[in-house]
Structure 1
C-alpha cells in the first residue's frame, strides 16, 4: 500500500539511499539481485525526485507497483518508472535482470531527441521474442558501465539511446494497436507548450485553454499519463533548468532567478528549496 500525505513516501536517490547521487555519471546500472538481496527481495514504496528508472526482469517473478497500478510479472518484462512516480517492487529470490537509472537531465535530453514520451509515462512492456536482443543490450550496458575505458560515456549513451529507440518504437506500436488516445495527445501537446513557455510562469488555465480542455481535465490527464499534476510538471521543468544553470554555468543565483522568469530572487530561493531541500547556493556547493 502506498503511503499517504500523513505518512509520506520517502524520496530516494537510489533504493534505500537518501544521500547524494552516488556517481559522477548521469546514469547508474546494476543487477536486480545486487541491491534487492540486501532488502530481502522487497523494495518498499518510494519515489525519486530527479531520476528515471528502467527495470528489466529477465527471468523469475516480480510484483511491480507503480502509482496505483500493480503488475504481476511472470515472463521477461521492462518497467518504465518516471521521476516522481511512487513505486515498490517484490521479487522472487531467483530473479535475474537489471536496473538502469538515468539522471533527469539525461532523461530529458534523450526524450527530446526521440520526440517521445516513453520516459515520462509509467508503463510495463512484455518483451516476448525480443528477449535475446534486450539481454545482449543490457549486458553490454552493464559491462561498459563497470569498466573505465576511453570513450566510456559516449559508448554508454549510444547503447542507452539504442535501448530507448527500441522502447519508443514498442510504445508507439502498442499505442497504434490500441487506436488513437486523445488524452495522450493532449499531454504530449501540453509538454511541448510547457517546453516553449515554462519561463513565463503561465497558469494551468492558459495551457488548458490552448488545448481546448478544462484545467481539471488537463490535471487528470497529467496524473494518469505522466504520474504527476500539471503544476508539478511545470515546477519540475523550472527546477530542472535551475539545476542545470547552477551546475553548468557561472550565473549568480539572482541571474538564474531572472533567466527563469522569477521577479523576486528570494521567492526563487524558497521555490528551489521546497523542490530540492537545498538552497540554490547549497545545491551548487554540494554538486
Structure 2
C-alpha cells in the first residue's frame, strides 16, 4: 500500500501489499470473504490501474463514490473505474462477488468486442431487474471456473467476462449520457491499450505509439499517468512482464525461447528486465509457481 498526495489510500487490491495474485488477468472473490474481516466495511480508497465490478446478489450495500453515498437494496452491479475513490459498507447477510481486473484484460475484451468499453469509464450502478437470475448463474459459473483448473479455463473465464460486459454495456446504452472530456480520455486510453496488446512484443517507442494515436507523446504519458498511475512505457513493460510470468508458469519454454518470443534482443537483457520489474529472477519465479 502507498498513499496519494491527498492522503487517500492507493491499494493494489483491497489494501493488500502483495502483487497481483497469480497470473490470471482476473481476480474474483465473494463479498463476505473480504468484508467480514473488516467488520463489513471497506473504507474509502482507490486503485491505480484496476477496474472493479461489485455484484450484489442479495443484502444491503452502502456505496461511497467520490464522497457521494448511495444505497443498493436490490440485485445490482456497481462499476468502479481506476482511481475512483470508493468505499463500501455491507449488511451481515450480504451475498455477491467482487470482480477485479487490470488494463490487459480490458484491452483483450475491447479487441474481442471491436469497440472501447465505455461502460468502464464512469462509476455507475446497474440494477439487474428481470435479468437477476440469468446474471446470478453467469457470475456463479465464473466464480466456480475461477476457483478450478479445468482445461480451457482461461478461455471460458474471458468468455464469461465478455458476456457480463455486453450486458452492462447494453444497460448503459439504454440510458446513454452525453460524452464528456473524461470519457473521451478513457476511450483514448482504450485505444492505446489495444495497440499495446497488439504490438507489445515489438518494443515500439512511446513516440511510435503516440504517432499511431495521432497525439503527442507527452499527452499519452499524461493520460496514462492520470488513468493508470503509470507512464505509457510502464504500461508496455507491465504487459511484457505479465506475458513472461504466464509463460513461466504454464509452459516449459526455456528462458532463451521466452526471450525471443517476447522480442528481446538477447536473453541477458530479458533476465535483467524481468528481475528489475518483478524483484526475482525468471528461474526463481518459475520455481515459485510451478510445483515439484
**Fold match (TM-score > 0.5):** yes
- What is the CA–CA distance in structure 2 between the aligned matches of 1:275 and 1:134, rounded to whole Å? 42
In 2, Cα distance between equivalents of 1:182 and 1:101: 23
2:178 aligned partner: 178
Q: How does 1:86-97 map to 2 (within 5 A)?
A: 89-94=87-92, 95-97=94-96
Task: Tell me which residue corresponds to 2:71.
Answer: 74
Shift of 1:246: 2.0
Shift of 1:201: 2.1
Deviations 1:182-202 (A, max 9, x none): 434432332333233322322
The residue that corresponds to 2:285 in the other structure is 283
Superposition map of 1:91-170 within 5 A: 91-94=89-92, 95-101=94-100, 109-118=108-117, 121=120, 123-128=122-127, 130-134=128-132, 136-142=134-140, 145-146=143-144, 153=153, 158-170=159-171
After superposition, the C-alpha distances for 1:93-142 in whole angstroms (9 at most, x for unaligned) are: 355532134588766544432235439955422214x3342454135532
5+ residue gaps, structure 1: none
Pairwise CA RMSD? 4.3
Contact 1:194 1:234 in 2 (8 A): yes
Aligned partner of residue 91 in structure 1, secondary structure: strand
Q: 1:134 to 1:211 in 2, by over 3 A?
A: same
In structure 2, the CA distance between the partners of 1:284 and 1:32, relative to structure 1 (3 Å rule), is: same
* Whole-Å separation in 2 of the counterparts to 1:267 and 1:256: 12
How does 1:195-234 map onto structure 2 within 5 Å?
195-226=197-228, 228-234=230-236
CA distance in 1, matches of 2:68, 2:134: 25
- Contact (CA 8 Å) 1:144, 1:152: kept in 2 or not? no
8 Å CA contact retained: 1:121, 1:226 = no
Structure 2 stretches lacking a partner, 5+ long: none
CA displacement at 1:3 relative to structure 2 = 0.7
Instruction: Determine the C-alpha separation between the residues in 1 that align with 2:107 and 2:208.
Output: 24
What residue is the counterpart of 1:62 in the other structure? 62
Total equivalences in the alignment: 276
Q: How many Å apart are 1:36 and its aligned residue?
A: 0.1
In the aligned structure 2, how far is the partner of 1:37 from the partner of 1:205? 47
Give the TM-score taking structure 1 as reference length: 0.71
User: TM-score w.r.t. structure 2 length?
Assistant: 0.70
Q: In structure 1, what is the equivalent of residue 32 of structure 2?
A: 33
